[in-house]
């Protein structure tokens, strides 16, 4: 079993007493709320967030001005180009904005760059391609915040540019008509974690609000119908599911579960998903297929799928994405094997970082390979593909507490382009600069690292110690209120001490099912993925596990999902 460091939280007894006494929470749910540092007067809004409490979109700098310019384009029949990105966040952003604008009478066309032909983001080349047909207004979604030269190129073509993005801005902003990015608003910290589709939702909200207040439109769109797209993009982009993200995803998951959008229904059917869709289903089943379009082919197919009006068209497009995903899996395994061999041959596990590169590694899978390497070795990784022009393009992934963008800032003199988030970034550099980049990147990351021999071990954060008798009907009802779980708000994990195993049996080829009981005498079924019965020590055990409801043939039964088992 994995050698993890258990970080067991402790709570203030007075806070726990108030959560249990004043708010009526079970002890396990109260421990979760205390560990999330939820203020006592915000407990209700955390558990049951309301769309009516979302921040006024006009508070975002430039938003009202942008809404007015878009309505001008609608009135004057100007062609509007939505320039997106090829990942799920960019695809859902493009689909959401196009849907709102078309229903409001706008002439809209979506442009999503081709990963191999156009590269990442808004570039002078992508502006020229997108500008076919002489548009007057270009709106970026999930990209553009650092695209200075591309914005100048658009201006020279007589195109107004509205930039909406959520990535880290640099000091000099592009000379656009309007630049909208929550990270430019120091007073709106809660919005800094919005995904690109969350910022797009804010733009749509502002657009409809402007139309209604000016009595020029906005009456025919119910923005809540687009929350399935917001949930898809937000979960897929691995932003913290707290604050407004939590509210948008919680309501969006209900819309997603209804599968009223033909493209969503076709995608769920081909992924063999039940009607009760969870954020993990987005992460592991839906997002990989939507991302596969941009990774292995043309992301425009993902946009077409989500825009499809008939289930027949949607099934055809979903089949194309599913085939792309199978191709992606093959390429991923080949590239991962090559990267693993390089780590061994070059002795990279003696370093604080992993930088690997190969000739013509498929650009569509290097981000996934970087994520897998981080999971295996628990240190920041950059995976690069070197093309025939001597340029290395790639993706970086990080671990909690290590800011990738900060490290890349230190390396910028060796880079052609870079950008992204603290946990995930894209990077390009000349092949000849690889040795210098490797050195500076290593030095920068080491300055951020906490010292000590455990820095490369994965950590398992636990809410605290509880007993099986506390996992009652009340707690599982509260567990539903605590959802959605994801980055920043993981599913609760607890430590259960001195438990005895009553039964162990193989489930499938690599998993184990069984039952255990603790000192209260309560029997608890469990599932352990990726572990066979021979992997377990003799009981009694201390276990780290997530309580959950196992749904099978319409019936739900409590169980715990084991994360790690240790001899008591």
pLDDT tens for 222-256 read: 999 999 999 999 999 989 999 999 999 999 999 99
Q: Looking at residue 525, what is its pLDDT?
A: 96
The 10s digit of each residue's pLDDT in 438-481 is 999 999 999 888 655 567 778 899 999 999 999 999 999 999 99
**pLDDT tens digits along 315-328:** 999 999 999 999 99
Query: How confident is the model over 355-365, as pLDDT tens digits?
Result: 999 999 999 89
> Is residue 567 scored above 70 in pLDDT?
yes
Candidates 440, 436, 426, 398; CA nearest to 146 is: 426
Which of the listed CATH numbers 2.40.128.260, 2.40.50.460, 3.20.20.70, 3.40.190.10 matches domain 5-10+459-567?
A: 2.40.50.460
Helices of type H across 119-185: 124-130, 148-156
What's the pLDDT score for residue 450? Answer: 66
**Segment 126-174, tens digit of pLDDT:** 999 998 878 899 999 999 999 999 999 999 999 999 999 999 998 999 9
Asked whether residue 276 carries a pLDDT value surpassing 60, the answer given is: yes
Token duo for residue 153:
């190129």
| Tokens matching residue 21 | 């006494």
Strands 511-517 and 523-528 turn out to be: antiparallel
DSSP string spanning 412-452? GGG-SEEEE-SSEEEEEEEGGGHHHHHHHHHHHHHHHSPPS
Query: Is residue 274 pLDDT above 70, yes or no?
Result: yes
Tokens representing 454 are 């455990």
For the segment 48-71, what is each residue's pLDDT rounded down to a tens digit? Answer: 999 999 999 999 999 999 999 999
Q: Are strands 137-141 and 160-164 parallel, antiparallel or unpaired?
A: parallel
Q: pLDDT tens digits, residue range 542-562? A: 999 999 998 877 788 999 999
Residues 6 or more apart whose Cβ sits within 8 Å of residue 225: 255, 260
User: What pLDDT is stored for residue 452 in this prediction?
Assistant: 59
pLDDT of residue 451: 55
Q: Determine the Cα–Cα distance for residues 102 and 91; give it in Å rounded to an integer.
A: 16
Instruction: Examine the pLDDT at 2 and tell me if it is beyond 60.
Output: no
Q: Three-class SS of residue 551? A: strand
Same CATH fold, 346-448 and 56-221?
no
Extents of the domains making up the chain: 5-10+459-567, 56-221, 346-448
Average pLDDT, rounded, for the chain: 94
In this prediction, residue 26 has a pLDDT band, given cuts at 50, 70 and 90, of very high
Per-residue confidence band for 1, with pLDDT thresholds at 50, 70 and 90: very low
Question: Is the pLDDT assigned to residue 119 strictly greater than 90?
Answer: no
- CATH number listed for the domain at residues 56-221: 3.90.1640.30
Q: Give Cα 43 distance to the centre of its chain.
A: 25
Q: Which residues contact 209 (CB under 8 A, 6 or more apart)?
A: 57, 58, 67, 218
Share of the chain above pLDDT 90, in %: 87
Q: How many other CB atoms are found less than 10 A from the CB of residue 121? A: 25
pLDDT of residue 527: 97
In whole angstroms, give the CA distance from residue 65 to residue 160. Answer: 13
What are all long-range contacts of 116-121, with beta carbons under 8 Å and residues at least 24 apart?
116/363, 119/393, 119/428, 120/85, 120/417, 120/426, 121/85, 121/147, 121/150, 121/419
C-beta separation of 18 from 40 below 8 A = yes
Q: What is the mean pLDDT of residues 266-278?
A: 90
Calpha distance 261→123 (Å, rounded): 32
**Fold adopted by 346-448:** Diaminopimelate Epimerase; Chain A, domain 1 (3.10.310)
Strand partners, 547: 560
């Amino acid at each position: 079993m994995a050698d993890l460091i258990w970080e067991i939280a402790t709570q203030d007894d007075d806070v726990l007493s108030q959560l249990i006494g004043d708010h009526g929470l079970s002890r396990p749910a109260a421990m979760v709320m205390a560990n999330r540092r939820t203020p006592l007067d915000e407990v209700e809004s955390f558990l049951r967030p309301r769309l009516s409490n979302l921040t006024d979109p006009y508070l975002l700098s430039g938003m009202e001005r942008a809404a007015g310019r878009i309505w001008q384009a609608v009135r004057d029949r100007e062609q509007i180009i939505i320039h997106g990105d090829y990942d799920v966040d960019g695809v859902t952003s493009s689909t959401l904005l196009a849907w709102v604008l078309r229903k409001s009478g706008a002439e809209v066309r979506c442009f999503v760059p081709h990963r191999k032909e156009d590269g990442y983001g808004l570039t002078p080349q992508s502006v020229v391609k997108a500008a076919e047909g002489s548009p007057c207004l270009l709106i970026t979604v999930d990209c553009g915040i650092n695209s200075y030269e591309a914005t100048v190129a658009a201006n020279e073509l007589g195109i107004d540019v509205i930039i909406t993005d959520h990535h880290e801005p640099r000091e000099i902003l592009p000379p656009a008509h309007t630049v909208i990015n929550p990270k430019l608003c120091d007073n709106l910290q809660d919005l800094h974690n919005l995904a690109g589709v969350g910022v797009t939702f804010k733009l749509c909200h502002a657009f409809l609000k402007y139309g209604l207040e000016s009595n020029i439109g906005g009456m025919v769109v119910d923005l809540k119908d687009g929350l399935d797209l917001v949930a898809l993009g937000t979960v897929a982009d691995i932003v913290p599911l707290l604050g407004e993200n939590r509210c948008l995803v919680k309501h969006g998951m209900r819309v997603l579960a209804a599968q009223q959008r033909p493209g969503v229904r076709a995608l769920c059917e081909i992924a063999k998903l039940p009607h009760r869709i969870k954020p993990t289903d987005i992460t592991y089943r839906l997002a990989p297929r939507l991302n596969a379009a941009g990774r292995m082919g043309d992301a425009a197919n993902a946009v077409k799928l989500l825009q499809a009006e008939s289930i027949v068209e949607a099934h055809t497009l979903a089949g194309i994405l599913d085939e792309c995903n199978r191709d992606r899996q093959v390429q991923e395994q080949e590239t991962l094997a090559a990267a693993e061999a390089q780590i061994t041959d070059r002795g990279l596990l003696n370093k604080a970082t992993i930088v690997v590169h190969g000739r013509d590694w498929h650009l569509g899978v290097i981000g996934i390979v970087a994520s897998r390497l981080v999971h295996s070795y628990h240190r920041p990784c950059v995976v690069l593909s070197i093309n025939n022009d001597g340029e290395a393009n790639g993706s970086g992934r990080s671990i909690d507490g290590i800011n990738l963008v900060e490290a890349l800032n230190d390396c910028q003199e060796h880079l052609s382009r870079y950008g992204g988030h603290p946990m995930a970034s894209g990077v390009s550099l000349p092949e000849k600069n690889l040795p210098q980049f490797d050195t500076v990147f290593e030095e920068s990351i080491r300055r951020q690292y906490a010292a000590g021999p455990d820095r490369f071990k994965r950590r398992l954060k636990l809410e605290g110690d509880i007993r099986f008798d506390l996992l009652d009907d009340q707690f599982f009802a509260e567990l539903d209120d605590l959802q959605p779980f994801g980055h920043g708000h993981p599913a609760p994990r607890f430590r259960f001490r001195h438990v005895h195993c009553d039964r162990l049996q193989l489930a499938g080829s690599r998993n184990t099912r069984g039952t255990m009981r603790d000192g209260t005498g309560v029997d608890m079924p469990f599932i352990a993925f990726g572990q066979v019965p021979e992997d377990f020590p003799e009981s009694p055990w201390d276990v780290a596990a997530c309580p959950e409801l196992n749904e099978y043939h319409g019936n739900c039964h409590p169980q715990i999902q084991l994360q790690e088992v240790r001899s008591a």
